[in-house]
Structures are given as structure tokens and as C-alpha cells.
């Protein structure tokens, strides 16, 4: 995959694998692994939002966790600003965690219920040593202002806030350490639609203000359409398509992407879109199908699909797809 020339690559993932061992019921049985992420490569450009989408179990959240080394990857490389971070020691990694932040789906679970907002923000700044103690109060008030919370919020506990407000606290905590890259893992999935829109608009505003880069993980294509510059579609641990948002939504090339997009409700009743219903369930990542992993559910599968794994090929400008017959199916 070629980098777009004028853009700076902030994160480069090469042949990333994340396998988790599964218990077998017999000592003599060979070890089995859940191949949650299986040899994926992509790049993230500075200042952009790249979304990762796919059904539950496709490996999108595992990819985020592996990049952050919350789970140590099985294999592959992750370069951040050109540095191979999978070889960073604990001290180097702790320092890097300031620049690489994460916002989770459930802020209630990720915020300490026994800490006030003041303690939560203060702790983040103290760990990363980003703001001197005497200046922290001013910084905390500034952070609350950025995320649209009043100064009184400082002395309150997470349970005293609504879901949307708690997510604002999570965002303030991430901002407290001057991050460059924020991984948003289903960051708005637990919120009502109207609140989702507010948080997405807030993230976009903060991105412009601070030049942030987002890796946005979501199963919700409407949300992805709102926030992304580019979109990467995953299926069963593999990347099946990556493209600029407009290209992906207007001219999807992979049959799986087409099926996913066909499930989004169209606001204009005059526009008819044929719903593609996929047959069967997502196969087990312990024993994924041979060849193209999508062949057990793909309406266009042939013998070749069962035998040969399709490569991720560039078929349009910055539009990559892994399907043997993408050109033919696009006609």
C-alpha cells in the first residue's frame, strides 16, 4: 500500500496478528487459537479519522488493543511516528501512552467511581507529568471548557453524570495528556442517537482544534459515515476493503461491504436500496474458512474463492479490496 505523498504517516501497522490460545479438553489435542486478527496491514495519516468497521468478532477492537499493547500482539509490526513500538520497554511505553490515548464504549467502567472528576484529571496529568502541579487547576478548568462541562463538575463523581456527560469526562481525561492519536473504541455506541451526534461533533471540533488523529472503531455505519475520512472494513480477522469514505459508501467493491451498506436505513423513502441478506453466521475464527474467508457467505463465491486467498489490491485511487472478482462485480 502506497502512502499518499503529501500526508504524513503517523501509524503504520504491518502484518499484525493477534491469536488467543483456547483451552482444549484433551492434553493430546493440538493447541487451538482464536485468530482474532490475522495478518493485517494499514496506515493512519496524521490528522485524519480512519474508521474500522465490521460485525462483532471481526477483530476491530482487538486491532485497537494490539496497537496500544493492551494485549501483546502475536506477530507483526506497529510503527508510531516511524518508531517500532512493539519493541519499546515499559518505561518507553509508559511515556508513549500520553500520545496514544483510548476512549472506551462504557465511560462508567473506565472511570474510577471513587474519584471525583478533579482526581481523575489530576491523576492523568500526574502520571504523564504533562502539567506542573501549580498549573493543574487552570488546565482542568480549560479541559472542562473544551468538552462542554461546567467548572462545578470537578467536585462531582462519575455516577452523578449522564452517559453523554461521562463520555465528555473520558474525552477530557484523554486530552489532559496532550495526545496525538486517540483510539475511540465504540465510543458512542452506548449513547442515545441525539447524544451520539453531540459527542461526534465534539470529537470533530477537538480534532480541528488540536490536530488530533483518530482511529475510530465502530459497528455502526451511520456513525462511521458522520466522522470518517477513510474507512477500513474487516471480516473475520482480515481487512477486506479500505477506501476514502465517499468512495466506500458510494462505490463499495467487496460483496461484504455491499451487504453491510445495504443494511443502513435510507432517510429518503424515494430512494430504493436492495437489501443484501447474508446467509449463515460468521464462521469461527478458530477454524476460519480456506481461501477467501467470506466464501461461505458470499453469493458470488466460486471454487477459486475456496482455494485461494485474495490479496488486498488497489483498484482505484487509495481504494483497496480483497476479492478475486471485484472488477467483474463492479460492472
Binding residues vs ligand SF4 (CB under 6 A)? 254-255, 292, 294-295, 298, 300-301, 305, 310, 323-325
Q: Which is nearer to ligand SF4, 195 or 329 (CB)?
A: 329
Shortest Cβ 252–ligand SF4 spacing (Å): 12
Q: Which is nearer to ligand SF4, 136 or 313 (CB)?
A: 313
Q: Which is nearer to ligand SF4, 184 or 326 (CB)?
A: 326
Q: Which is nearer to ligand SF4, 45 or 320 (CB)?
A: 320
β strands within 82-180, DSSP E: 83-84, 100-103
Shortest Cβ 171–ligand SF4 spacing (Å): 37
Helix (H, G, I), strand (E, B) or coil at 112: coil
Q: Can you read off the three cell numbers belonging to residue 328? A: 467483474
Q: Which is nearer to ligand SF4, 65 or 254 (CB)?
A: 254
Shortest Cβ 307–ligand SF4 spacing (Å): 10
Length of the chain: 331
Shortest Cβ 310–ligand SF4 spacing (Å): 5
β strands within 98-154, DSSP E: 100-103
**Closest C-alpha among 151, 226, 165, 160 to residue 195:** 165
Terminal C-alpha separation, the chain? 24
Shortest Cβ 234–ligand SF4 spacing (Å): 14
Shortest Cβ 84–ligand SF4 spacing (Å): 33
User: What is the full DSSP assignment across 119-186?
Assistant: HHHHHHHHHHT-S-GGGHHHHHHHHHHHHT--GGGGGS-GGGS-HHHHHHHHHHHHHTT--SEEEEES
CA distance 180 to 102: 11
Q: Which is nearer to ligand SF4, 84 or 300 (CB)?
A: 300
CA distance 31 to 181: 36
Q: Can you read off the three cell numbers belonging to residue 163? A: 452517559
Q: Which residues contact 32 (CB under 8 A, 6 or more apart)?
A: 21, 22, 24, 286, 287
| DSSP run (H or E) holding 201 | helix 193-210
Q: Which is nearer to ligand SF4, 224 or 305 (CB)?
A: 305
Shortest Cβ 233–ligand SF4 spacing (Å): 11
Amino acid at each position: 500500500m502506497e502512502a499518499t505523498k503529501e500526508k504524513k504517516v503517523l501509524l503504520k501497522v504491518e502484518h499484525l496478528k493477534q491469536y488467543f490460545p483456547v483451552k482444549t479438553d484433551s492434553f493430546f489435542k493440538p493447541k487451538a487459537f482464536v485468530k482474532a486478527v490475522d495478518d493485517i496491514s494499514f496506515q493512519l495519516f496524521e490528522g485524519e479519522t480512519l474508521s474500522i468497521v465490521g460485525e462483532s468478532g471481526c477483530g476491530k477492537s482487538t486491532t485497537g488493543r494490539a496497537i496500544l499493547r493492551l494485549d501483546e500482539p502475536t506477530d507483526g509490526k506497529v510503527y508510531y511516528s516511524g518508531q517500532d513500538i512493539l519493541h519499546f520497554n515499559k518505561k518507553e511505553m509508559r511515556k508513549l501512552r500520553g500520545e496514544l490515548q483510548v476512549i472506551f464504549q462504557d465511560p462508567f467502567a473506565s472511570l474510577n467511581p471513587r474519584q471525583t472528576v478533579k482526581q481523575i484529571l489530576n491523576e492523568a496529568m500526574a502520571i504523564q507529568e504533562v502539567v506542573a502541579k501549580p498549573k493543574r487547576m487552570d488546565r482542568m478548568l480549560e479541559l472542562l471548557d473544551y468538552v462542554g462541562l461546567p467548572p462545578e463538575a470537578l467536585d462531582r463523581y462519575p455516577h452523578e453524570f449522564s452517559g453523554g456527560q461521562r463520555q465528555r469526562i473520558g474525552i477530557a481525561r484523554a486530552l489532559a495528556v496532550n495526545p496525538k492519536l486517540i483510539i475511540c473504541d465504540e465510543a458512542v455506541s452506548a449513547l442515545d442517537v441525539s447524544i451520539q451526534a453531540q459527542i461526534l461533533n465534539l470529537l470533530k471540533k477537538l480534532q480541528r482544534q488540536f490536530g488530533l488523529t483518530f482511529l475510530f472503531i465502530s459497528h455502526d455505519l451511520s456513525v462511521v459515515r458522520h466522522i470518517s475520512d477513510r474507512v477500513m472494513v474487516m471480516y473475520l480477522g482480515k481487512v477486506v476493503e479500505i477506501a476514502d469514505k465517499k468512495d466506500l459508501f458510494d462505490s463499495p467493491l467487496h460483496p461484504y461491504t455491499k451487504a453491510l451498506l445495504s443494511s443502513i436505513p435510507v432517510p429518503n423513502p424515494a430512494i430504493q436500496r436492495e437489501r443484501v441478506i447474508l446467509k449463515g453466521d460468521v464462521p469461527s475464527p478458530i477454524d476460519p474458512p480456506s481461501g477467501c474467508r467470506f466464501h461461505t457467505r458470499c453469493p458470488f463465491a466460486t471454487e477459486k474463492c475456496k482455494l485461494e486467498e485474495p490479496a488486498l489490491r488497489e483498484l482505484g485511487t487509495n481504494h483497496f479490496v480483497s476479492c478475486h472478482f471485484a472488477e467483474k462485480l463492479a460492472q
